[in-house]
Amino acid sequence: MSETTIVNQPRVGEYYIINPDFDVAPHEVEFSNKEALRPPGGGIIRPRTGGFPKFSETPVMTDLAPEGSLHDFQVAFEGYWLVSERLKRVFEAVDPSGFLFVQCELIRFDGSTGPLHYLCDVCRILDAVDENASEVKVLTEGFPNGRFYDLAGGARLAFRKDVVKDAHIFRSPFNGAMIVCDRIMRDALVEHGFGVYGGDSGMALDDAADY
């Protein structure tokens, strides 16, 4: 009996890239004390290797909109996500070792204290994209890790199961903004209202096989 060779390929419904939802009004939240938290000589707070440096004070976020503009999921805070308490709970329930969190002080527009929010780092980095089975533009000149996955214009990504193993979320070393979750994490997020069409969580879940 001949052995059947399983050919890897992008498969819709297996892996998702977590992005901001551009159909939701952008946040107006300011990282008020970011300069005080940046390491000396650092461009942003998040180190290239990930995680958090030792903070001398609590990160402070200020909501600049009178009507409030906070979502459960927001990006671009010195290399980190800003997430709500309820989103943090989902992340930790599914894959606690995939994340690091630092609690923030949130100040509303009127000066009152806002609900719990956290800076969030996806700390697991996996070189898991199967380039031979994927359709993705790979740039190779001038990048710190020797290559960059350019998703602009679309991509069809396949992943190496022997690398992903039982991880439910991970970051690519070749595109720091490309954070991938599996179907288990995706379903848990959707069950709690994150990444759903027409929702207001601020999160979008885009299929990595049809990006």
**Full pLDDT tens readout for the chain, 211 residues:** 445 567 899 999 999 999 999 998 877 899 999 999 998 877 899 998 899 999 999 999 999 988 766 899 999 999 999 999 999 999 999 999 999 999 999 999 999 999 999 999 999 999 999 999 999 999 999 888 899 999 999 999 999 999 999 999 999 999 999 999 999 999 999 999 999 988 999 999 999 999 9
Whether residue 50 lies inside any domain: the answer is: yes
Whether residue 189 lies inside any domain: the answer is: yes
| pLDDT of 145 | 87
**99, two tokens:** 């994340």
Whether residue 134 lies inside any domain: the answer is: yes
| pLDDT of 4 | 56
| pLDDT of 1 | 42
Number of folded domains in the chain? 1
| pLDDT of 48 | 86
**18, two tokens:** 């977590």
Whether residue 135 lies inside any domain: the answer is: yes
pTM for the predicted model, two decimal places: 0.93
**Residues counted in the chain:** 211
Which helix H or strand E contains 181, and what residues bound it?
A: strand 175-182
| pLDDT of 198 | 86
Whether residue 123 lies inside any domain: the answer is: yes
Whether residue 52 lies inside any domain: the answer is: yes
| pLDDT of 2 | 45
With a CB cutoff of 8 Å and minimum separation 6, the contacts of 17 are 151, 178, 179, 180, 205, 206, 207, 208, 211
Domain that holds residue 98: 15-210
Whether residue 7 lies inside any domain: the answer is: no
